[in-house]
Chains A and B, each alone.
Chain A
Amino acid sequence: MSALKLHQVSKSYDTGPQRLEVLREVSLELAPGAALAITGPSGSGKSTLLHIVGTLDEPTSGRVTIDGVEPHAMSEPELARFRNDAIGFVFQEHHLLPQYTVLENVLVPTVVSRRGRDGAAERARELLDRVGLGARLEHRPAELSGGERQRVAVARALINHPRLLLCDEPTGSLDGPTAEKVGALLFDLHRAEGNVLVVVTHSRELAGRFERRAELRDGRCYEA
């Protein structure tokens, strides 16, 4: 069974007299543990596709299945719970909560988790260790560099053992070497956690690391 399946997913917006087609019948299928890089020019619908996959947005038509479940058919609370359980996000902007420490930021998704908090702190520490921030647990985001913040965001995305790790331009705001490190980290963790990794990126270097690559052009998906 596919871990992630998109079947003829389309997304369009009403913009007055015209209808803006962002995605046109995009279909994809990823097996458990697979990794996919999605590239494409600005405005090609990469983020929209990622948001639909991450259940933050709904397709206008088509179907998304994650581990055989159609999340878009769920109610908002169920969907939120599903997202909390099954999906981890990393955005170009880290969106860390400035009022919390590094450790707390990683723990934020566990606040509404069904799994309980047992062992959450240990896992957070372990993840932060793995991303190289084991010594910065009590620091606040403002005290970290851009790359470090993004690594915290990665740890946060993985705290609930998501089956799907979605990254939207995770290295877009980082310099070359840092982007390289973060990219490598993502891969390492993906392999270690065994989840499905989908990354939207402009970066050819990052995309080059993926065995599967797809490109969005005019709303259509072309897998390389």
Chain B
Amino acid sequence: MLRGLIHYWRINLAVVLAAAVATSVLTGALLVGDSVRGSLRALTLDRLGRIDEALVTEQPFRTTLAEALAPFEVAPALLLRGAAVQPDTGARASQVAIHGIDPRFLALYPAEQRFDLARREGQVFPSLALNETLARELGVTAGDAVLLTFSRPSRIPRDTLLGETDPGDVLATLRLQVAEVLPDRGVGRFGLAPRQQAPHNAFVELRQLQRVLQQPGRANALLLARGGNPGDPQPALRRALEPEDLGVVVRSREDRVAVESRDFVFRPDVEAAIEQAARDLKLPAVPVVTYLANEIRLGERSVPYSLVAALDPLGAPESLGVRLGAGGAPARISPDGILLNTWTAEDLGAAVGDRVRLEYYVVGPREQLGVEQVTLVVEGIVGFRGLGADRDLAPEYPGIQEADDIASWDPPFPVDLDRIRPRDEDYWDRYRATPKAFVALATGRRLWSTRYGAVNSIQLAGAPAESIEATAERVRVALAGRLEPEAFGFRFRPVRRQGLDAASGATDFAMLFVSFSFFLIASSALLIGLLFGLGVEQRAREIGLLLAVGYPRRRVRLRWLGEGSLLAAAGTLLGAAGGIGYAWLMLVGLRTLWIGAIGSSRLELYVAPSSLLLGAAISIVVILLSLLGSLVRIGRVPCPALLAGGFRGRERLRRGRLAPVLAWGGLLAALALVATALATGATESPALAFGAGAALLASGLAFFRLWCRGSRGGSLARGARALAGMAARNSAWNPGRSMLSVALVASACFVIVLVAASRHDFGDELRDRSSGSGGFSLLAQADVPLHQDLGRPADRGELGFDDEAERALEGVAFYPFRVLPGDDASCLNLYRPEKPRVLGVPPELVERGGFTFQNSVEPPDPGRPWSLLELPQPDGAVPAVADANSAQWILHKQLGDEIEIEDDAGGTVRLRLVGVLAKSIFQSEILISEAAFLRHFPDRSGYGYFLIDAPPERLEPVSGALESALARFGFDAVTTAEKLAAYQEVEHTYLSTFQLLGGLGLLLGTLGLGVVLVRNVMERRGELATLRACGFPRSSLVGLVLAENGFLLLAGVSIGSLSALLPSLPRLVHVPFPWTSVAGTLGVVLVVGMLASIAAVLGTLRAPLLPALKADR
């Protein structure tokens, strides 16, 4: 066997090389997958240092919690998002991750990555360290000044009456001096969310941020390194947490214990927990809702700005009751009733039975302040006793409680100080925030509930024979056991494990590159089969002889299988090494040429032995399958034919009916699809183009087959035309091989051209509401959510828009979305999104409509497709919409599938896909209705995502005005065309990759054609020798054979390219087609194909032809 292999070393070497190519490509593709995964893992480990787990909360907490978690190594930090500006140049950067850190944080990173934030001598402003990416964006170096703007944490939800929304209150700004520019690796890449792109990182001393946020000794994050400790830090955290850390404050009053919310209102679950604790302790409890009435009016008389308490007073103890008159009976309040205190009753001249009108603010949709009124019946006049005399019953109203007089009030809502009378100042002096009126708790809940809750405090009676302080302590302990820290965000997340899990990637690059390399692999397999077949045919006599001397066919086959296996093994071994080279080359491509697909140059080669083995194993199977055809034929050719040196009988095409049916049917189907496209206006539909193209391809190939079958007539011409005619006729004579060659080339060309024609650049069609932009021209995001309505000039004024900006925004419509931050669910994120970003779709968009649903369940209102988001789900799931591409390729979800994410109370909310959008701007997020958003994510106030309907000719002034006025909010506007193009860039890059690798495959396929040619020439040596004897010069013979091959190549290229191009023509009228690169690819294929043919023909014809003329050849 070995001697046979050595004797025919040329052809065997060719088989080995082809096998090596197939293995290299396959193994290399798998290694690309390993490398992407490995690189993402490395990035995860790099950015996290020694951090294993992290806890991040909405509200800051005591940094001393970190110490309570020993033996774990824990670093407290303030992790904020904001914007950065270089004050001298005005260079801006949004989406800046601002980290307030101390040495404990830096200790989590290797010593060489640590940096010093201490103020240098003579340095005026505090130090800032930023990473290269941010420094580059701002154009700063060490010593430069940078302004960081970020949101102040607010305990009171900003979208409630008392929430601060004024930009001056919402935003904090810190001027800093760049002390160090960190490389984009290690700590410079720090971030808890997995992302392959380098973040905009800014590091500031923790105490500096605490100072500017007025949160001394507090942090909002704990970063934990296990240091080999396998325990769970959560129990220690629970032990260390006190109710105050969770926003529940227990105060000792004179005769009772008050449990108050630092967040102004208790969430219903917290309220329930406190009431349960009170029941457990057997302490009577009175929940209290307090609200500010702008006016209490009776006829012409009114009292301005009065606190009203809603509670159900108890008869006993007195401390939880309200007493009628100066010393009367305990008061009760009905749902339509009101109790006025004596001062108010006197001021209004009110008596029991009078109907007074309360006017108060409400926060309506879009966080707009409105005024509402309610009329209630006076059911009693109460004295200043018990709760009626409690000036601490109301929570601390910002801007009110600390004021010396009412004239000094500076609340976050409008107050008309002209209405304040001396009498009111007098009340303030004497009673401060003591409620002037009382309504029933149910009434208070009905009128003043927010989505966060309604109750501000729960008043508990003191226990008998126990000091109030002791009772308060018992209440604290009971609450600590009842309140779930996890529901307040106090949960350590295994960020390292999650990051490593996410590194498995949303996109399987191994399979992606196997697909991209499909034609390359298929061509190699074909080449292996052809070369091996050629080798076997060369040895037809040897096979014939073995059979003639009595070798069983099975044994002969096994012998050749053995040889084939040896060649396959040698090729596979060589290919495994080649695979590493191929993967390296692909990674170089991904880091440079195709960087659009991954957005990171941090891709390194990782070689997993398992992938090498898998690639080799699959390759061996592919190679052996490729050899199988030749081995089977050994058994079919009669022994005498083999002895005569023949291996292949003349081919005959069966006169089946399939070819004509396919030819005409394909043509008709293509015409029908084009007609459908024209009729429905879907002339640009890629699906229709593909369908029509595929039908044309099948038809074209079937016509070629029919031509092969029918090409018998016609007379011979003379000269060059005669040679061309002879070439065409000769091609038709070997229909099987010709079909194989043409089909291979045509299919590859079809895919390459179709892929190129699938490129899509966005233009005027984006003005259409059904397009991927929904008809919106701009899209904006703000790092700090806005609480103002950008559509209202008054709100814009509040935000600092000047007259010029106002003029720019004339006629511009805004659709604001609420945002739950999360992972990018689009193809721009290589990591698998663990918790995708969620947007709350405003009802206005549901009404307006726009975008196109690629697939959806039946919407409740067929006229309003977005009413899908309102579709009730019986099992409590939330109807959600995602982009079709993101759902399929990144989230790997289909219609009806669910995505589970954590809600604000630490529970799980299931988002069920009820619709998927076609190629939209929403590729990075999941969409749910605003109502559902508020229900499940009540803590997310404000709007951080905006769709903007601006006239196309004014996009620049509009975005300029917005970005400039809202720079502090990290407001960043892009055109929807740019946004779509960014997503498209990934697709285009994939298309380019596919095109290039497909082109390489095609190139290899043309080498296969060369082999087919050699086989043809070898078989037809007698024929060619006869032609020479008839006076055909050698050049004519070469020309004849080349013309045959050129004819097949051209036929394949034409059938494939035209099939792909023709149905795409309507699109290509206005969408640029990469003619140069496609023509280049096909041109190279033709040229290389012809060169390979020339080499093959010259090589074959150089051998003496005369023996072929002899009878005993």
B1022 within 8 A of partner (CB): yes
Given contacts A47-B1110, A111-B718, contact A81 B650 (CB under 8 A): no
Q: How far is the CA of A110 from the CA of B716 in the complex (A)?
A: 9
How far is it, in angstroms, between the C-alpha of A97 and the C-alpha of B1110 when the chains are bound?
16
In the assembled complex, the CB of A37 is this many whole angstroms from the nearest CB of chain B, namely 17
- A142 CB, nearest partner CB in chain B, Å: 8
Query: Which residues on the B side are within 8 Å of A111 (C-beta)?
Result: 716-719, 722-723, 726, 1032
Q: Could you say which of B917-925, B970-978, B1023-1031 contacts chain A?
A: B1023-1031
Residue of A nearest to B1023 (CB): A97
B1087 at the interface (CB under 8 A from A): no
CB neighbours of A63 from chain B (8 A): none
Residue A15, interface by CB 8 Å: no
Residue of B717, B718, B1029 with highest tally of chain A CB at under 10 A: B1029
Is residue B1035 within 8 Å, beta carbon to beta carbon, of the partner chain? yes
Q: How many residues of A contact B (CB 8 A)?
A: 44
User: Does any Cβ of A come within 8 Å of B1076's Cβ?
Assistant: no
A169 to B1111, CA, bound (A): 9
**CA separation between A111 and B729, bound complex, in Å?**
14
What 1/0 mask marks residues of chain B from 1092 to 1113 whose CB sits below 8 Å from any chain A CB?
0000000000000010011100
B1033 within 8 A of A: yes
Against A, the Cβ 8 Å flags (1 = close, 0 = not) of B675-715 are 00000000000000000000000000000000000001001
A28 within 8 A of B: no
- Which chain B positions have C-beta within 8 A of A91? 1026, 1029, 1109, 1111
A residues within 8 A CB of B1035?
A: 77
The docked-state distance in angstroms from the alpha carbon of A110 to that of B719 is 9
B1029 close to A108 (CB less than 8 A) = no
Which segment of A51-59, A176-184, A204-212 sits at the interface? Answer: A51-59
CB pair A95–B1033 under 8 Å, yes or no, is no
On whether the beta carbons of A109 and B1022 are closer than 8 Å, the reply is no
CB distance A83 to B715 under 8 Å? no
- Pair A81/B1033 contact, Cβ less than 8 Å: yes
Cα of A57 to Cα of B1022 in the assembled complex, Å: 16
Instruction: Say which residue of B716, B1023, B1033 sits within 8 Å of A104 (CB atoms).
Output: B716
**Complexed CA–CA distance, A136 and B1026 (Å):** 22
A77 to B718, CA, bound (A): 17
Please name all residues of chain B whose beta carbon is closer than 8 Å to the beta carbon of A110 when the two chains form the complex: 716, 718
Q: Is A85 an interface residue (CB 8 A)?
A: yes
Q: State A87–B1028 Cα separation when bound (angstroms).
A: 12
Residues of A within 8 A of B719 (CB): 111
Would A80 and B1033 be within 8 Å (CB), given that A95-B1025, A108-B716, A117-B718 are in contact? yes
Residues from chain B with Cβ under 8 Å of A85 in the complex: 1031
> Cβ of B605: which chain A residues have Cβ within 8 Å of it?
none
Interface of B is mostly: helix
Known: A108-B716, A110-B718. A83 touches B1109 (CB 8 A): no
**A98–B1033 alpha-carbon span in the complex (Å):** 21
A51 to B1029, CA, bound (A): 9
Q: Name the residue on B nearest A80 (C-beta).
A: B1033
Closest to A89 in B: B1029
Closest approach, in angstroms, between the C-beta of B1026 and any C-beta of chain A?
A: 4
Please give me the residue from chain A that is nearest to B1031 by CB atom: A84
Chain A residues, Cβ within 8 Å of B650: 98, 142
What CA separation (Å) do A189 and B581 show in the bound complex?
A: 69
Select one of A57, A87, A95, A101 contacting B1026, CB under 8 A: A95
**Set A104, A113, A169: member contacting B1031, Cβ < 8 A:** A113
- Judged by a CB distance under 8 angstroms, whether A215 is at the interface is no
- The interface residues of chain A lying within 8 Å CB-to-CB of B1034 are 76, 80
Contact B1109 A109 (CB under 8 A): no
Which B residues from 1006 to 1047 make CB contacts under 8 A with A? 1022-1023, 1025-1036
A172: Cβ under 8 A from any B Cβ: yes
Shortest distance between the CB of A22 and any CB in chain B (Å): 12
**With an 8 A cutoff between CB atoms, is A100 at the interface?**
yes
Instruction: Assess whether A156 is in contact with B716, with CB atoms less than 8 Å apart.
Output: no
Q: Given the known A-B contacts A76-B1033, A89-B1030, A108-B716, are A57 and B1106 also in contact in the complex, defined by CB atoms under 8 Å?
A: yes
Complex-state Cα separation, A113 to B1033, whole angstroms: 11
Is A112's beta carbon under 8 Å from chain B?
yes
Q: List residues of B (711-751) whose CB comes within 8 Å of A's CBs.
A: 712, 715-719, 722-723, 726, 729-730, 732-733
Inter-chain contacts of A113 with B (CB < 8 A): 718, 1031
8 Å CB interface, A73-129 against B: 76-77, 80-85, 87, 89, 91-93, 95, 97-101, 103-104, 107-113, 116-117, 121
B603 to chain A, nearest CB (A): 54
B886 → chain A closest CB, angstroms:
56
Q: A80-B1033, A173-B1111 are in contact. Are A104 and B715 (CB under 8 A)?
A: yes
Q: Which of A80, A98, A121, A172 contacts B733 (CB 8 A)?
A: A98
User: A107 contacts B1111, CB within 8 Å?
Assistant: no
- The answer for the CA separation of A56 and B1106 in the assembled complex, in Å, is 7
User: Is B1031 in contact with A93, judged by CB distance below 8 angstroms?
Assistant: no
**Interface positions of B from 1033 to 1075, Cβ below 8 Å from A:** 1033-1036
Instruction: Verify B1030–A93 contact, CB threshold 8 A.
Output: no
Verify A95–B729 contact, CB threshold 8 A.
no
Residues of A within 8 A of B1031 (CB): 80-85, 87, 109, 112-113, 160
A51/B726 contact (C-beta < 8 A), A97-B1023, A98-B650 known: no
B715: chain A residues at CB < 8 Å are 103-104, 107, 121
Q: Mark A21-54, 1 if CB is under 8 A from B, else 0.
A: 0000000000000000000000000010001001
A168 within 8 A of B: yes
User: In the complex, A100→B728 CA distance in Å?
Assistant: 12
Contacts of A56 in B (CB 8 A): 1028-1029, 1106, 1109
List the B side residues contacting A107 at CB < 8 Å.
715-716
Given contacts A107-B716, A110-B718, A172-B1111, contact A156 B1023 (CB under 8 A): no
How many whole Å from B592's CB to the nearest CB in chain A?
51
A54–B1026 CA distance with the chains assembled, in angstroms: 12
Q: Could you say which residues of chain A place their CB within 8 Å of the CB of B1025?
A: 95
- Chain A residues whose C-beta falls within 8 Å of the C-beta of B729 in the assembled complex: 99-100
Inter-chain contacts of B726 with A (CB < 8 A): 111
Give chain B residues whose Cβ lies under 8 Å from the Cβ of A156. Answer: 1030
CB-CB under 8 A from B723, the residues of chain A are 111
Tell me the bound Cα distance from A47 to B1023 in angstroms: 18
Give the shortest distance, in Å, between A92 (CB) and chain B (any CB): 4
**Of B733, B1033, B1035, most A-chain CB atoms within 10 Å:** B1033
Which residue of B is nearest A160, CB measured? B1031
**Complex-state Cα separation, A221 to B1106, whole angstroms:** 22
A contact residues around B732 at 8 Å (CB): 99
> Which of B717, B718, B1023, B1106 is close to A95, meaning CB atoms less than 8 Å apart?
B1023
| A98 to B522 Cα, complex, angstroms | 32
**CA of A156 to CA of B730, assembled, Å:** 19
B1106 touches A99 (CB 8 A): no
User: In whole angstroms, how far apart are the Cα atoms of A173 and B1109 in the complex?
Assistant: 14
Once bound together, how far apart are the Cα atoms of A11 and B785, in whole Å?
Answer: 99
Residue among B1029, B1031, B1110 facing the most chain A CB atoms (10 A cut-off): B1031
6 interchain residue pairs of minimum CB distance? A84-B1031, A80-B1033, A95-B1026, A99-B733, A92-B1111, A109-B1030
Q: List 22 A-B contacts (CB under 8 A).
A: A47-B1110, A56-B1029, A76-B1033, A77-B1033, A81-B1033, A82-B1031, A83-B1029, A87-B1031, A93-B1109, A95-B1025, A99-B733, A104-B715, A107-B716, A108-B1030, A109-B1031, A112-B1030, A112-B1032, A112-B1036, A117-B718, A156-B1030, A168-B1109, A168-B1110
Residues of A within 8 A of B (CB): 47, 51, 54, 56-57, 76-77, 80-85, 87, 89, 91-93, 95, 97-101, 103-104, 107-113, 116-117, 121, 140, 142, 156, 160, 168-169, 172-173
Given contacts A56-B1028, A80-B1031, A111-B717, 19 further A-B contacts (CB under 8 A): A51-B1106, A80-B1032, A81-B1033, A83-B1029, A89-B1026, A89-B1030, A91-B1029, A92-B1111, A93-B1109, A95-B1025, A98-B733, A108-B1027, A108-B1030, A111-B719, A111-B723, A112-B1033, A121-B715, A160-B1031, A169-B1111
